[in-house]
Amino acid sequence: MTLLNPYFGEFGGMYVPQILMPALHELEKNFVISKKDLSFQQKFLYLLKNYAGRPTPLTLCANLTKGTKTRIYLKREDLLHGGAHKTNQVLGQAMLAIQMKKKAIIAETGAGQHGVATAIACALLNLKCKIYMGFKDIERQKPNVFRMKLMGAEVISVKSGSGTLKDACNEALRDWSNSYKYTHYMIGTAAGPHPYPKIVKEFQKIIGEETKKQILQQEKKLPDSIIACVGGGSNAIGIFSDFINEKVNLIGVEPAGQGINTGKHGAPLSHGRTGIYFGMKSYLMQNEEGQIQKSWSISAGLDFPSVGPEHAWLNSIKRAQYVSITDEEALEAFQILSKKEGIIPALESSHALAYALKIMNLNPDKNQVLIVNLSGRGDKDIFTVSEILKNRKKL
C-alpha cells in the first residue's frame, strides 16, 4: 500500500521490477515525513535562498515586445546556481537521501543540466555521485560533462540503444536495482515511478509560488498564459503548480524536432499514445506494437520519448494545452533573445520562448501578459548553435 495516491487520473503508477518496490516505498515514506518535518523544510528553504540564490527574478522583456501590446516576462531560472531550475529539486532529493542514510547518488542526464545539478548537490552535501549519460549526449554537452567531473562526479557513458537520455534512464534504473540499499536514484524530472513525480513537483513548486507573488506585484493581476518547455516536464510542473486552480492558460511546449511529420521529434503528448514505460503509465512515442521509439530534439534535455504523468493527466482533462515547436523555431528564439535582451536561453527554454513569440506575433495588438519559464541558461548550447550557424555561414 502506498501512503499517497500513485496515480494522476489513469496516469502514473509504479511499473518497475518487483525488486525495486521496497526502495520506492522507503522513499515515499521518507518524503511524507519530510513534508511535515519543520527542520527539513527550513534547511531546504535555507539552501534555496543562501546557496542556490532564490528567489530568481521575473524579468520584463521590453525590447522583445516593442511595438506590440504584449508583455512577456521571463521567470529567470537561468540565474539559479547551476544555471537551471534543476538545482531546486536535487537539493531536496539529496536531503531525502541523507535522511534515508544513503551514502551515494545515481542519476541520469540528457543535456547534462540535471547531471551538473546532481554533482553540485552531492559535492555540497558530501554524497558519492555517479551519473549515467548517453554517449551522444556526452559528445554534444562537453562543458557540462567537465563541470560534473570537476565537482567529483563519475560520468558513465551509456553506449546501448540510441545512446541518449532514454538509454541513460534504463541504465540508471538497472544500477539502482542492484544498489538501492546504499544508493538513492535521483530522477531528474517529474516522471518515472511514484513517488518521483510527486517529489519533483514538491521541490519545484517554489517556481510557481514565486512567479505568482512577483507577477501580482508587477502587474497587479495574474498572467493570461504561462508557457514552459516539456521534456519530462519538471520546470513546467513547477511553474504551473500554483496556477492550476487559477484562470490562467497553462501551455507546455514539446519539441517538434525536425518536424512532426518526419517522425524525428519528442512530442509524445501531442503525437504519442498512452503506454507503460520508465516506471509509469503516460503518453509515449511508440510503434504499433508498443516498442519504444527514439525521440529527437536539437535540445538534449527534451530528447525523451515520454513525459511526466501529471502532464499526461492535465492534457487528458484539457486543463493544460500542449503544443510543439521545431528545432528551427527554437534556434531562432535562441538568437532573438540573445540579441534583443542580452540573455542566452537554454535550447530547452528557447522552445517555450518561441511559442510565446508566436502568440505575440499572431495578435500584436492584444493586451496580454505572458510568462515564459526560462528554465536554464544557454551557455551549454553555444557550441551546438555555433556549429549550425557556422555551417549556414550566418556567423
Partner 1 sequence: MSRYKKMFEKKTLLKEGCFVPFVVIGDPSLNMSIKIIEILIKSGADALELGIPFSDPLADGPIIQKSNLRALSKNYGILKCFEIIQIIRKKYSNIPIGILLYANLIYSQGIKNFYKQCSKYDLDSVLIADVPIEEYSLFYKYANKFNIDSIFICPPDADDNFLSQLSSYARGYIYLLSRPGVTGIEKKTIALSNKFIKNVKKYNNIPLLQGFGIKNSIQIKKSILSGVNGVICGSAIINIIEKNLNKENEILNKIKNFSYKLIQSTKFI
Which ranges in the chain belong to alpha helices (H)?
A: 21-36, 38-47, 86-99, 113-125, 135-140, 142-150, 165-179, 196-219, 234-240, 268-271, 309-316, 327-341, 347-362, 382-391
Segment interacting with partner 1, rule: CB under 8 A, options 14-22, 27-35, 222-230, 324-332: 14-22
Asked whether 382 and 84 are in contact (CB, 8 A), the reply is: no
User: Could you tell me the smallest distance in angstroms from the CB atom of residue 176 to partner 1?
Assistant: 9
Nearer to partner 1, 126 or 160 (CB): 160
Per CB under 8 A, 116 contacts partner 1? no
Convert residues 19-48 into a mask of x (bound to partner 1 by CB under 8 A) and - (unbound): xxxx--------------------------
Of 61, 122, 169, 229, catalytic: 61
Q: Among this protein's residues, is 61 annotated catalytic?
A: yes
Q: Is the dihedral of CA 375, 229, 238, 294 positive or negative?
A: negative
Nearer to partner 1, 290 or 364 (CB): 290
Nearer to partner 1, 145 or 284 (CB): 284
CA 256 to chain centroid, in Å, comes to: 17
**Span 172-211, contacts to partner 1 by CB under 8 A:** 173-174, 177-178, 180-181
Per CB under 8 A, 126 contacts partner 1? no
List the one residue out of 155, 154, 87, 157 whose CA is nearest residue 125: 87
Q: Is 361 exposed, middle or buried (0-12, 13-18, 19+ CB in 10 A)?
A: exposed
Of 25, 85, 194, 351, catalytic: 85
Q: How far apart are CA 151 and CA 15, in angstroms?
A: 33
Nearer to partner 1, 243 or 277 (CB): 277
Q: Which amino acid is at 111?
A: A
**Helix 38-47 and helix 21-36: axis angle, to 10°?**
90
List the one residue out of 3, 6, 1, 12 whose CA is nearest residue 30: 3
Per CB under 8 A, 272 contacts partner 1? no
Per CB under 8 A, 279 contacts partner 1? yes
Q: Among this protein's residues, is 85 annotated catalytic?
A: yes
Per CB under 8 A, 275 contacts partner 1? yes
**Span 283-342, contacts to partner 1 by CB under 8 A:** 284, 286, 288-293
Q: How many Cβ atoms are within 10 Å of 368's Cβ, its own excluded?
A: 19
Per CB under 8 A, 168 contacts partner 1? no
- Measured between its terminal Cα atoms, the distance across the chain in Å is 58
Q: Which positions are catalytic?
A: 61, 85
- Interface with partner 1 by CB under 8 A: which residues? 2, 13-22, 160-161, 166, 170, 173-174, 177-178, 180-181, 274-279, 281, 284, 286, 288-293
